[in-house]
Structure 1
């Protein structure tokens, strides 16, 4: 199983792209601006998108993806998300006002887009690739994901702040090899992190104290202009772990 990081930034500018990850060739985890670097041929074979939550940096290119390649496909693109997130996408994105409702195009019987409900803790088996929604604590309904190849697992927290339930589930994953965890703000912006339900380095350190396993840890969602500062603060705050910055274009094989 191969996971390619298409975008992992908390913003845009220069070479920065927002959150999106390509699992093998046909499954996306989130649909931020990183999708825009894919070719039409690469986009055309994506069959499934697993969305962590509805914020723009995680769905920005989803409407454009559907529009760009939908009519080249012979089956609907399937969006997997919680009921709450699907409701937000229906009401506020694919609503004919912001973007066409592709669940009705070209017809109700042969749509370009289809929604599939996911439930916290219930695994979706994608041909032996097991994707399980994990708890997250954000300002909108949100999940993280465990991606299990059968041999090893990778966890992506999505956007979250302090969340005991997340670490309880993570600590049960005995084949955990990689942990991708957000840290959106520097310590000087801790109050903003708390209000917006993100992590800063000091909060990350508190959360990692709950981790009983020893995976390789990568930091995502760093804000433009604060990348070096935040990574230095993480290095200073985090004790037994040595987190690395997630890189656009990075590939995990597991």
Structure 2
């Protein structure tokens, strides 16, 4: 009986490991604003998705993101969605495509709304004209028209993406992602827009929003987001009511870590920091864990009690 119990325990443990490997994970690679990487040395706002330990989707590739992706993911995902052409969201695209797509012969694909895609090709990629290669030699360029759902073939799955226009000085688009039953909304850089937040949160399990201490036409404020979430009975911040809320909200894009929201501004569990990982429970698809890889003293820590 003792040996049987040990065997069952081992099988259970192996099944648990297999289930954990199959989970989709969201990795925060950076939360920086326009000046953050240059003046503070911290990565620009970006996040990625992985499945069975393999990264397959990257949201934005601004200053400092490549190094952060190599640190936390081990590679650059081959499918890259670019929200807009500002340097803190697209600056590293030419170098990464030159290395990954041209030198290493990886099949990279860049996804963006048509207006953004044309800016990236004509302006952002201009520095690579001297290479003598055509724009299609570096990557496959995929149009994601506004409000139109497209299917994307990634390294591990087929996903659906719908681009939604945000409020920003540069033409900018957030996205709504569908992976089987999992749905994730992301505003990208945006001033407060209830319509945008409503569209993205309506069927999402997780909504990632851009917000800063002081809001304006291009970025929502922490208070804007608090008031919006408080007005919606089916929304709450990540980790506050994980079993009750239909959609949980997390904040990114606030700037350097010294500018991150305090616990008086937002629940700490809802603030994404470089290295944080959100896992989605397989049976409910709820985002149920938010961890930080290191604390200030270098040890692994949990951001909130419900993660345990």
Q: How would you bin the TM-score normalised by the shorter chain?
A: 0.7 to 0.9
Q: Is the 8 A contact 1:47 1:76 kept in 2?
A: yes
1:2 to 15, 19, 25: 25
Q: Does 1:19 align with 2:19?
A: no
Q: Please, which runs of 5 or more residues in structure 2 have no aligned partner? A: 1-23, 236-246, 281-308
Taking the TM superposition and a 5 Å limit, the aligned residue runs for 1:12-91 are: 12=37, 16-24=42-50, 25-32=55-62, 33-39=64-70, 42-43=74-75, 46-74=77-105, 76-91=107-122
Q: Does 1:219 align with 2:251?
A: yes
Which protein, 1 or 2, shows the higher relative CO under an 8 Å CA cutoff with sep ≥ 6?
1
Stretch of structure 1 that moved more, 21-30 or 6-15: 6-15
What is the TM-score normalised by the length of structure 2? 0.65
| Number of equivalent positions | 233
Residues 198 and 14 of structure 1, relative CA distance in 2, 3 Å threshold: closer
Q: Which residue of 2 aligns with 1:247?
A: 273
1:234 aligns with 2:265: yes
Match of 1:145 in 2: 175
When residues 106 and 171 of structure 1 are mapped into structure 2, their CA distance, relative to the original with a 3 A threshold, is closer
**Structure with max Cα Rg:** 2
**Per-residue CA distance 1:74-114 (angstroms, 9 max, x = gap):** 4542211112212221232212xxx1149x85457x61223
Q: Deviations over 1:116-165 (max 9, x none)?
A: 21112222323332222223111111111222222222222111112233
| Deviation by residue 1:193-239 (Cα, 9 ceiling, x = unmatched) | 324x11122322344356453222211111226525x434523xxxx
Deviations 1:230-251 (A, max 9, x none): 434523xxxxx88621021122
Q: 1:166 aligns with which of 196, 199, 210?
A: 196
Q: Determine helix, strand or coil for the equivalent of 1:234.
A: coil
C-alpha change, 1:225 and 1:111, in structure 2 (3 Å) is closer
Partner of 2:207: 179
Q: Corresponding residue for 1:155?
A: 185
RMSD of Structure 2 on Structure 1 (CA) = 2.9
**Equivalent-residue separation in structure 2 for 1:218 and 1:172 (angstroms):** 15
Give the SS at the match of 2:101: helix
Q: Using the alignment, how far apart are the partners of 1:162 and 1:232 within structure 2? A: 21
- Contact 1:231 1:245 (C-alpha < 8 Å) held by counterparts: no
Stretches of structure 1 that go unaligned for 5 or more consecutive residues are 188-192, 236-240
User: Is the partner of 1:18 in helix, strand or coil?
Assistant: coil
Structure 2 match to 1:190 = none
TM-score, reference length from structure 1: 0.78
* CA separation of 1:144 and 1:172: change in aligned 2, threshold 3 A: same
Which whole-Å CA distance do the structure 1 matches of 2:171 and 2:134 have between them?
A: 30
Instruction: Tell me: CA distance 1:69–1:20, structure 2 relative to 1, closer, same or farther (3 Å).
Output: same
Q: Show the counterpart of 1:238.
A: none
Match of 2:216 among 176, 188, 194: 194
Contact preservation (8 Å) 1:171, 1:213? no
